[in-house]
């Protein structure tokens, strides 16, 4: 029996929903087994606002991924975004009874557990507690405290907070689609996993993920996440502006943006014109490409300036916090012509487009290395780290489950599949993520069961 750790990521975006099935190959690269994509209905600016439509879109994407791969999906790691997401810096400490005893996972769990008790605004919930640096007995900062000894364990944390209702709605959609939720990850963190190198994270880098409904920001310095933010504008607002400015329908506006759009109006000549068929017997419309670029330029400048304000808020202008690796752009919006030059012009920082191909196996479909799939690739990587076997080959199921095959596969999972071949040595980070996710997912499941 094939005992591969098959991982599944589900990117619930404003424009599209992507289900991606993958596994690690012998070279440690990500091999994509199947991808399903559907138009996202029922999600607005990263937040679910119509549960029925979202469930249908998820089921469509999942079915497509299953047919593409020959695997049955059991559980997924989901990305979360939306304008309700905010992050705070927090420091906390615990006093240990025996200062001579070596610091272990229990101490770190206790410290993280303490941060989870932080008083939040009504209706808010903690999504991630990400330790940055630890201090033992007030001594110099360390990233890995396990194995040291001391009486007082102190740490600074990056705490990501979101609205409980939005998080539960995502959980409800996933469960109603016949899937289990094995993890929740902030989308900019997933995208960062897919497109950033360790060197960039060490040097200091800002990842800007321009999606359909939101623009996500994640800032890294010294290999540690320092700042996250979600700006409630993305590619859809640009399409809306084109629709209003040129008096055309949304479908045509989207096509115009993708085919002829540019973020830099200077390069189009005045006589460059594109003709758009009129609606039902009406005359065709002629649109100047220069005007089109001006409309796009105005909105992109606004989005980039908001992101840059967040980068300055982090303290990029302080020499110690300088982001030496500059900016990495990803997401569907990063495909806009000349956006890299515009970002460099506004921020004065080195910029590159981030493709998720660094972690993908050489045999992967070329389409998958588009910035469009950065979040989905990052979510699959996250699922692999959780060590879950999220999908089962259809052939295997037929051989092993002659009795169960008539029942819904979602309910019945062979017990064997929960085993993991070799327990990998866990780092502090993976231990933290695991223990937190277990508790968090339990909480969501409990809520959903009660709601029913």
What residue segments make up the domains of the chain, in order of their start? 86-162, 198-354
Among the listed residues 28, 7, 4, the one whose alpha carbon sits nearest the alpha carbon of residue 19:
7
Q: Is 60 exceeded by the pLDDT of residue 63?
A: yes
pLDDT for position 406: 41
CATH topology of domain 198-354: Nucleotidyltransferase; domain 5 (3.30.420)
For 298-310, what is each residue's pLDDT tens digit? Answer: 999 999 999 999 9
Which are the contacts of 311, defined by CB distance < 8 A and separation ≥ 6? 206, 217, 219, 323, 347
User: Which tops the pLDDT comparison, 360 or 195?
Assistant: 195
pLDDT for position 284: 87
Tell me the C-alpha distance between 58 and 79, whole Å: 13
Q: Is 70 exceeded by the pLDDT of residue 436?
A: no
8 Å CB contact between 279 and 353: no
Tell me the C-alpha distance between 327 and 198, whole Å: 14
Tokens for 400, please give them: 């092993």
User: Which tops the pLDDT comparison, 335 or 267?
Assistant: 335
CATH of domain 86-162: 3.30.1490.110
Q: Please give the helix or strand (H or E) that residue 110 lies within, else none.
A: helix 105-115
Tell me the C-alpha distance between 323 and 152, whole Å: 32
Average pLDDT, the chain: 85
Q: Exposed, middle or buried: residue 50 (CB in 10 Å: 0-12, 13-18, 19+)?
A: middle
Q: What is the pTM of this model?
A: 0.82
- Distance (Å) of CA 420 to CA 6, 81, 394, 417, 438: 11, 31, 20, 8, 17
User: Which tops the pLDDT comparison, 2 or 132?
Assistant: 132
For 375-430, what is each residue's pLDDT tens digit? Answer: 999 999 999 987 777 888 876 655 554 444 444 344 444 444 434 344 455 555 55
């Amino acid at each position: 029996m094939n005992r591969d750790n098959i991982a599944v990521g589900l990117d619930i975006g404003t424009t599209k929903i992507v289900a991606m099935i993958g596994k690690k190959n012998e070279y440690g690269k990500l091999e994509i087994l199947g991808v399903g994509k559907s138009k996202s209905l029922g999600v607005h600016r990263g937040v679910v606002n119509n549960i029925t439509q979202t469930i249908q879109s998820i089921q469509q994407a999942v079915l497509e991924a299953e047919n593409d791969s020959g695997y049955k999906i059991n559980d997924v790691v989901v990305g979360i975004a939306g304008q309700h997401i905010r992050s705070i810096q927090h420091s906390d400490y615990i006093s240990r009874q025996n200062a001579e005893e070596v610091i272990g996972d229990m101490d770190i769990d206790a410290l993280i557990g303490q941060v989870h008790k932080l008083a939040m605004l009504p209706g808010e919930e903690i999504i991630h507690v990400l330790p940055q640096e630890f201090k033992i007995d007030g001594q110099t900062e360390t990233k890995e405290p396990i194995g040291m000894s001391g009486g007082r364990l102190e740490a600074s944390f990056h705490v990501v907070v979101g609205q409980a209702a939005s998080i539960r709605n995502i959980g409800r959609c996933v469960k109603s689609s016949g899937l289990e939720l094995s993890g929740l990850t902030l989308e900019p963190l997933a995208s960062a996993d897919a497109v950033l190198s360790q060197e960039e994270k060490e040097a200091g880098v800002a990842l800007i993920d321009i999606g359909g409904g939101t623009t996500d920001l994640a800032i890294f310095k010294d290999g540690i996440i320092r700042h996250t933010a979600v700006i409630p504008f993305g590619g859809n607002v640009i399409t809306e502006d084109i629709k209003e400015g040129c008096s055309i329908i949304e479908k045509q506006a989207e096509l115009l943006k993708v085919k002829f759009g540019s973020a830099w109006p200077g390069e189009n000549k005045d006589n460059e014109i594109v003709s758009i068929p009129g609606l039902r017997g009406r005359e065709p419309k002629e649109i100047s490409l220069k005007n089109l670029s001006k409309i796009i330029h105005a909105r992109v400048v606004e989005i980039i300036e908001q992101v840059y304000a967040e980068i300055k808020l982090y303290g990029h202008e302080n020499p110690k916090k300088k982001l030496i690796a500059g900016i990495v752009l990803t997401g569907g919006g990063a495909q806009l012509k000349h956006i890299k030059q515009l970002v460099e012009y506004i921020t004065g920082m080195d910029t590159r487009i981030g493709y998720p191909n660094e972690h993908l196996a050489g045999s992967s479909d070329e389409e998958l290395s588009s910035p469009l799939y950065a979040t989905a690739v990052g979510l699959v990587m996250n699922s692999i780290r959780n060590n879950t076997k999220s999908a089962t080959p259809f052939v295997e199921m037929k051989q092993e489950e002659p009795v169960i095959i008539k029942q819904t596969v979602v309910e019945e999972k062979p017990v064997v599949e929960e085993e993991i071949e070799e327990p990998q040595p866990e780092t502090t980070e993976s231990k933290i993520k695991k223990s937190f996710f277990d508790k968090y997912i339990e909480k969501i499941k409990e809520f959903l069961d009660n709601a029913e």
